Every structure is written in structure tokens, then in C-alpha cells.
Structure 1
Amino acid sequence: MPEAIRQSDDTPAPVGRRERKKAATRQAIADAALRLFLERGYDDVGIREIADAADVSTTTLFKHFPVKEALVFDQESDLESGLLAAVRERAPGRSIPDALREHALRHRRAGAGSDPRFTAFLELVNSTPALRDYHQAMWLRHTAALAQVITEESGRPAGDPACTALAHFALEAPHAARAHDDPQEVITRAFDLLDSGWRNLTRDGNDRTGPV
């Protein structure tokens, strides 16, 4: 993912020299891979070329990225952490859908127009079947993780399909908005619907935190 749109919601804790070196190596590999993919296309770039461009061995590359597709989505764990934190650390009285809306809009503002490679990055993913499939698999994983946190924060029963549905549509809204002229408006209105439905659902008293 382009460096300018790599975002973190939390200030990272200080890390040691070894960890910084590992992070720098990982970043160098991901940057080299994305540059080559954008220049020549995903399928026309080999792992050896990426390793050479990053000045590492293929063994080192695979220690950081077990499969080629992961090179494109190098920040997914950080993005998921930020997503879950948006729910866990929301202000008192703020609903879960409203917190997720603000998170989605913040990332939309951070990405839109901040890096000239952002559009090219999206086109790369959308035009490459292997990347689309890999992204979909990650999408499902994020849904499960987010649904679990929603369940915990709302106090609803384990496995409640409403929590899974909210997680799914909260993640889908920014993706669906890409095709519209005003993505921010689409995201806002989508979360209006989610917030209204969630508040109606949670009036039954099953939530430990009141309005969620």
C-alpha cells in the first residue's frame, strides 16, 4: 500500500534496535514490490526481482511475506488493529456504528488525493484476480474480528448474527462507495442506516453499555 496512506490510529510504543531493523527491512521489501508491480504489473514481476530490488535474499523476503500477494497488503494487521480500536476506544455514549463511521471517513480523507499512486494501487488490486481473491479472504477475516469486538463491547450473545451483519456492512460501505461521485456522502448515509437499525435493535436491554 502507498506509504502516504499507511495510517495508524495509535502512537506506537518505543521499540528496540532489532525491531526497528526488522520493520525497516519489511518496509523496504514492500516498497520495492509495490513500485515494481505498479511499473510492470503484478504477474510480470518475480519474487527474485523484488528481493534484489530491496537488497535482501528471497529467504528474508519470505520471512516477512509468506506469499506474493501479502506484499501488496503489508499494512493489513495495522489497519485491523485500528478498526478494532475504533470500537473499543470510542467515547462514552457513542454508538458502535457512529464510531465505525468516523473511522471510515478518517481513512477516506487520509487516502483521497494524498498520494498520486493511490488510484494506481486500487487499479492494481481490482485488475489482478490473485490480489482480488487475497483481499476478499482478508476481508472475511476482518469481518470475524470486528464482529467479535462488537459482541464483546455490546454485551450481546456470542455468535449473534446482528454483530456479524453490522461488521460486514461497516466494512463493505467504504468499498461500495468507491464507484460513486461523492464517496464521503455514501459512507455517511450508509452508516446512518446502520446506526438507526443498531439503536432499534439494542433497545431490548441486552447491551451492558447503554447506547452502543
Structure 2
Amino acid sequence: MTDPATQTGTAPPTGRRERKKAATRQAIADAALRLFLERGYDDVGIREIADAADVSTTTLFKHFPVKEALVFDEDADQEARLLAAVRERPEGQSIPAALREHALRSRILAADGDARFTAWFDLINSTPALRDYLQGMWLRHANALAQVIAEESGLAADDPACTALAHFALEAPRAALAHADPRQAVTRAFDLLEHGWLAISG
């Protein structure tokens, strides 16, 4: 299921084999999430998930090498969309503006209207192993984003401004939940950030 990144989908697989693999992967993830939400993450075994998805445990592990990954099945797609938001932004658009648009598509901002997403989010918050996995995923995405920001802006790869912007962009949707109007909070935060970024990047 989509985590606090974006709800915009990627292009579907085009070949028959790719479509079959994608369908199998989705069936496994759906079965896992259903069982986790029904009984709790720690009380569901890998064999049960494989049986529910009608696949072998070998097939399951080909798609999801660790149990925690079953809850974050769009990890790679989310990172790809995040980086594309910067690399493929329209000519003349600043990096903070591109990241603001990406953040405003964040599904977490609409969590109150999606009971299934809210349950998924609560599952993560109540499960230490999933919180730890999410933190590691967050750091990987932040590091990848910081590198792309550096490439696109012409700054050094180790420039702390790139790291700070990457961390801010990923954290903004979550932080905005504390406000009455999360979308407006995201917009105002990125507006403030952009002024400082322009002073750094020229």
C-alpha cells in the first residue's frame, strides 16, 4: 500500500510476463495487509500469507525479501516518483516548487477520508518493527533525493543544503497533519523554504 509519499501511480507493466509478476506481487501485498489488519503484524506468519495469496513461500520471498517489506510494497515506486518530481520538473520551476507539488499529492494529507489508509498507518505506528523499517526507508529516500537535488542544482553532493531540503520535503506532509488545514500548511512551509533555497542556489 502507498505510504506517506504520493498517491500518483506509475505506468502499468506492458508485457504479459511483467503484468503477471505485478499481479502476483499485488496479490501477495493485499493478502498480507488484510491479515495484518485483521490480526496484527506479529501474529501473522509468512506461510499464512503465501497460502492466502495462493503462492509458495519461495515466490513470496522473490517479491518481498523480508516480512516488513510486505507493508511497504510501493517502496521502489515511491522513490522513483520522488526523484522524477525533481528531474522531470518543467523548465523554470524551482526544486522546492517541484517538491511542494509532489508533497501536495501525498496520500497522508487525505488520510482522514480513507479508512483503509488510516488503518494501515495505525498498524505501522503500533508495530516497532514496521516503524524501524519505515525509518530506514525514509533515510534511503532522503539520501537518494539529496543526491538528485545536488545534481540538478549544481551543488556539491555533500552540501548540507541538499540534505536539509531532502529531509524537509519528505517530512513536510507528516508535520502538516498537526495543522487544521494540512495542505495549506505544506504550501506555506514550502513557500518559506523556497526563499532560502533561492539565496543558496542562485
**TM-score normalized with structure 2 length:** 0.92
Instruction: Tell me, in whole angstroms, the C-alpha distance in 2 between the residues paired with 1:44 and 1:89.
Output: 43
Instruction: Tell me, in whole angstroms, the C-alpha distance in 1 between the residues paired with 2:34 and 2:181.
Output: 29
Q: Kindly indicate whether the alpha-carbon contact (under 8 Å) linking 1:108 and 1:184 is maintained by their aligned counterparts in 2.
A: no
Q: For residue 144 of structure 1, what is the amino acid of its counterpart? A: N
Q: Kindly indicate whether the alpha-carbon contact (under 8 Å) linking 1:2 and 1:121 is maintained by their aligned counterparts in 2.
A: no
Q: CA deviation at 1:144?
A: 0.7
Q: Where does residue 122 of structure 1 map in the other structure?
A: 121
How big is the alpha-carbon RMSD for the aligned residues of Structure 1 and Structure 2?
A: 2.1
- For residue 124 of structure 2, give the secondary structure of its aligned residue in structure 1: helix
Does residue 11 of structure 1 match 2:11? yes
Judged with a 3 Å threshold, the aligned counterparts in structure 2 of structure 1 residues 114 and 89 are, in CA distance, closer, same or farther, namely: farther
Instruction: Tell me, in whole angstroms, the C-alpha distance in 1 between the residues paired with 2:20 and 2:6.
Output: 19
Sequence identity percentage: 74
Q: CA deviation at 1:187?
A: 1.1
**TM-score normalized with structure 1 length:** 0.88
Q: Where does residue 172 of structure 2 map in the other structure?
A: 173
- For residue 94 of structure 1, give the secondary structure of its aligned residue in structure 2: coil
- For residue 117 of structure 1, give the secondary structure of its aligned residue in structure 2: helix
Q: For residue 73 of structure 2, what is the amino acid of its counterpart? A: D
Q: CA deviation at 1:113?
A: 5.3
Q: Where does residue 207 of structure 1 map in the other structure?
A: none
Relative to structure 2, which stretch is displaced further, 82-91 or 188-197?
A: 188-197
Judged with a 3 Å threshold, the aligned counterparts in structure 2 of structure 1 residues 51 and 29 are, in CA distance, closer, same or farther, namely: same
Q: Kindly indicate whether the alpha-carbon contact (under 8 Å) linking 2:7 and 2:105 is maintained by their aligned counterparts in 1.
A: no
Q: Kindly indicate whether the alpha-carbon contact (under 8 Å) linking 1:8 and 1:78 is maintained by their aligned counterparts in 2.
A: no
Q: CA deviation at 1:186?
A: 1.8
Q: CA deviation at 1:163?
A: 0.6
Instruction: Tell me, in whole angstroms, the C-alpha distance in 1 between the residues paired with 2:59 and 2:11.
Output: 28
Q: For residue 38 of structure 1, what is the amino acid of its counterpart? A: L
- Flag as ranges the 4+ runs of structure 1 deviating above 3 A: 5-12, 108-115
Q: Deviations over 1:86-130 (max 9, x none)?
A: 101111111100110011102248844563201111111111110
Structure 1 spans left out of the alignment, 5+ residues: 204-212
Instruction: Tell me, in whole angstroms, the C-alpha distance in 2 between the residues paired with 1:163 and 1:7.
Output: 24
Instruction: Tell me, in whole angstroms, the C-alpha distance in 2 between the residues paired with 1:10 and 1:63.
Output: 21
1:61-100 alignment to 2 at 5 Å?
Answer: 61-100=60-99
Judged with a 3 Å threshold, the aligned counterparts in structure 2 of structure 1 residues 65 and 23 are, in CA distance, closer, same or farther, namely: same
